[in-house]
Amino acid sequence: MAFSYKTAVPWGRSFDEYRRMFRLSDDDIKLRILGCADGPASFNATLSRNGGSVVSCDPLYDCTAAQIEERIAETYETVIGQTRANQDKFVWETIKSVEELGETRLAAMRDFLKDYETGKSEGRYVTAEAPVLPFKSHSFDLALCSHFLFLYSANFSLEFHQQAIAELFRVAKEVRIFPILDYNAEVSPHLAPILTQLKRAGCEATLETVPYEFQRGGNQMLRIRSKRAQKSRYVNSILELADLHKILQEKLTNCICVAYMILHGGCICCHFEDTENGTVFDITSWYADWTLYQNGGMITNSEVGEAAWLEIPMGKRVTRWECQGAADLTIEFEEKWELQITPWKSSTPEERTSDVWTISNAEPQSTNRFVSVSAEGVITMQNSTRMERTD
Ligand SMILES: C[S@@+](CC[C@H](N)C(=O)[O-])C[C@H]1O[C@@H](n2cnc3c(N)ncnc32)[C@H](O)[C@@H]1O
């Protein structure tokens, strides 16, 4: 659904509501925060006044303050009228009436408008439209998304949600989304597949009850963190994509493959560096599906909680990729190569075993339990392989 300011319905919540919707602690509000789809909420204005670090992004910020103010005036009565017609869908405890709701929202939006032009010149309000955000990876500690994802499930597809969440997770270490309900106060149909996908990708995705409920039954946020990020300072971004094959071809062809690792328990990781633009990629099989990590650095064996792994330094340019879903991974290199494969039997290099295997595409059809090389010199890593410990 393309964004159009002429059809936008600006409606903004306050800092206090954000604190409760996302259960933001005193420590949380000291983090570098991104507010995605913040619209005319006053979260940024209030937090910035109090010394916080926050950037809001929304396609609405393409407009001037005067245009947003005009749109608020044009749409206010309609929104209030819709709320009045659906009063039973809301909890009238903190906010006691439709009139009080209108006053609360207007106060927040006026606060936003006062701050908007200054904040824009300071780079605190950035025009951007999910699922593509104009921020470098890991620019933020925490990304918040209030009343956009899940709420508009009827307008935005599952794929859009997957891409938007992957993008938020690329730019921030942690993502919180509120609510998980759609416009009809039903749990979003996108939630279950997204939870499955996030868990499969190794993320910690939890539904947490928060001290805020206005939409009836809407008192849960989705909180997403990387399990591996908690263990490693390197891996804190994840990009899981529906069509990984396409992405791999686009991003990884012509990258230098600097290492393979085959991790204990059947998990395989390949590490790549795009020397032209300095981007680093890891592709990892977490038992079934392939996952692409961008700028995530090296994954170490400690992150899978098991000891044995193999490292294969390559330094060769990749010319072809084949990888789909849970299928095996095939990689073709432009040059001849020979690999020394060293199985590691514990988490530290010092505890390396003395076993070394050599495989090479100069020596076709060499095979071991994990990697085989065809007569054409194509290497195939078997995703289904279960590595056994060598000790
Ligand atoms: C209901 S408002 C929520 C505003 C604010 N987050 C709050 O809770 O008060 C939804 C916001 O989503 C924004 N939006 C629409 N499409 C978007 C997109 N593709 N990416 C980011 N924001 C978008 C709209 O401009 C609007 O400001």
The full DSSP string for 59-102 is GGGGS-HHHHHHHHHHHHHHHHHHHHHTGGGB--SSS-SHHHHH
CA distance 107 to 316: 59
- Would residue 239 count as lying in a domain? no
What mean pLDDT comes out for the span 196-209? 82
Which atom of ligand 1 is closest in space to residue 12's alpha carbon? 9
Provide, rounded to the nearest whole percent, the portion of the chain with pLDDT above 90: 47
Residues 212 and 297 in one domain: no
Residues 266 and 178 in one domain: no
- In this prediction, residue 173 carries a pLDDT of 87
Last residue of a domain, one of 179, 208, 231: 231
334 pLDDT above the threshold of 90? no
Residues 221 and 294 in one domain: no
2 pLDDT above the threshold of 80? no
201 pLDDT above the threshold of 60? yes
Ligand 1 pocket check for 142: Cβ under 6 Å: no
- Would residue 279 count as lying in a domain? yes
6 C-alpha vs ligand 1 centroid, how far in Å?
A: 14
- In this prediction, residue 204 carries a pLDDT of 83
For the CA atoms of 294, 299, 303, 309, the dihedral, rounded to the nearest 10 degrees, stands at 140
**What does each C-alpha distance from 328 to 64, 106, 352, 371, 381 come to in angstroms?**
52, 56, 27, 10, 6
The CATH number linked to 174 is: 3.40.50.150
pLDDT tens digits, 212-231: 999 999 999 999 986 543 32
Ligand 1 pocket check for 146: Cβ under 6 Å: yes
- Would residue 360 count as lying in a domain? yes
- In this prediction, residue 379 carries a pLDDT of 55
Give the confidence band of 285 by pLDDT, cuts at 50, 70, 90.
low
119 C-alpha vs ligand 1 centroid, how far in Å?
A: 17
- The structure tokens listed for 297 are 């650095």
- The structure tokens listed for 272 are 């790549």
Give the confidence band of 288 by pLDDT, cuts at 50, 70, 90.
very low
Strands 267-274 and 279-286, sheet pairing? antiparallel
- In this prediction, residue 138 carries a pLDDT of 79
Residue nearest to atom 11 of ligand 1 (CA): 37
Asked which of 66-70, 95-99, 303-307, 331-335 is least confident by mean pLDDT, the reply is 303-307
- The structure tokens listed for 212 are 């805020």
Ligand 1 pocket mutation pick from 22, 58, 75, 168 by most atoms within 8 angstroms of CB = 58
262 pLDDT above the threshold of 50? no
CA distance 188 to 185: 8
78 C-alpha vs ligand 1 centroid, how far in Å?
A: 17
293 C-alpha vs ligand 1 centroid, how far in Å?
A: 27
- In this prediction, residue 163 carries a pLDDT of 86
Range of the domain at 255: 244-381
Residue nearest to atom 5 of ligand 1 (CA): 38
149 C-alpha vs ligand 1 centroid, how far in Å?
A: 9
Give the confidence band of 170 by pLDDT, cuts at 50, 70, 90.
confident
Ligand 1 pocket check for 331: Cβ under 6 Å: no
Residues 112 and 177 in one domain: yes
Residues 208 and 292 in one domain: no
Residues 192 and 310 in one domain: no
Which atom of ligand 1 is closest in space to residue 41's alpha carbon? 9
Last residue of a domain, one of 188, 206, 231: 231
Last residue of a domain, one of 231, 255, 287: 231
Candidates 208, 210, 130, 207; CA nearest to 165 is 130
Find which of 131-140, 263-272, 284-293, 322-331 is predicted with most confidence, using mean pLDDT: 131-140
Residues 40 and 78 in one domain: yes
- In this prediction, residue 235 carries a pLDDT of 26
* Cβ 275 vs Cβ 264: under 8 Å: no
- Would residue 391 count as lying in a domain? no
Residue nearest to atom 6 of ligand 1 (CA): 38
Provide, rounded to the nearest whole percent, the portion of the chain with pLDDT above 70: 55
HEC states along 11-23? CCCCHHHHHHHCC
Residues 165 and 296 in one domain: no
- In this prediction, residue 292 carries a pLDDT of 60
Asked which of 88-102, 128-142, 183-197, 345-359 is least confident by mean pLDDT, the reply is 345-359
- Domain total for the chain? 2
263 pLDDT above the threshold of 60? no
Which atom of ligand 1 is closest in space to residue 35's alpha carbon? 6
The long-range contacts involving 118-125, CB below 8 angstroms and separated by at least 24 positions, are: 119/44, 119/45, 119/48, 119/56, 120/61, 123/55, 124/44, 124/48, 124/54, 124/55, 124/56, 125/38, 125/44, 125/55, 125/56, 125/57, 125/58, 125/61
Ligand 1 pocket check for 152: Cβ under 6 Å: no
User: What is this structure's pTM?
Assistant: 0.65
CA distance 49 to 374: 63
Calculate Rg over the CA atoms of the chain.
24
Ligand 1 pocket check for 183: Cβ under 6 Å: no
CA distance 221 to 45: 23
Residues 201 and 326 in one domain: no
> Does 134 sit behind a cis peptide bond, omega within 30 degrees of 0 on the bond before it?
no
Find which of 1-15, 164-178, 321-335 is predicted with most confidence, using mean pLDDT: 164-178
pLDDT tens digits, 300-328: 333 333 323 344 444 555 655 554 433 44
Q: What is the DSSP letter of 249?
A: H
- Would residue 74 count as lying in a domain? yes
Ligand 1 pocket check for 62: Cβ under 6 Å: no
Residue matched to tokens 């039954």: 217
- Would residue 286 count as lying in a domain? yes
Residues 87 and 150 in one domain: yes
**Cα 365 from chain centroid?**
39
* Cβ 182 vs Cβ 188: under 8 Å: yes
- In this prediction, residue 159 carries a pLDDT of 87
Residues 195 and 328 in one domain: no
- Would residue 248 count as lying in a domain? yes
What mean pLDDT comes out for the span 158-186? 91
35 C-alpha vs ligand 1 centroid, how far in Å?
A: 10
- Would residue 52 count as lying in a domain? yes
Residues 52 and 92 in one domain: yes
64 pLDDT above the threshold of 90? yes
Give the confidence band of 390 by pLDDT, cuts at 50, 70, 90.
very low
- The structure tokens listed for 50 are 């109090």
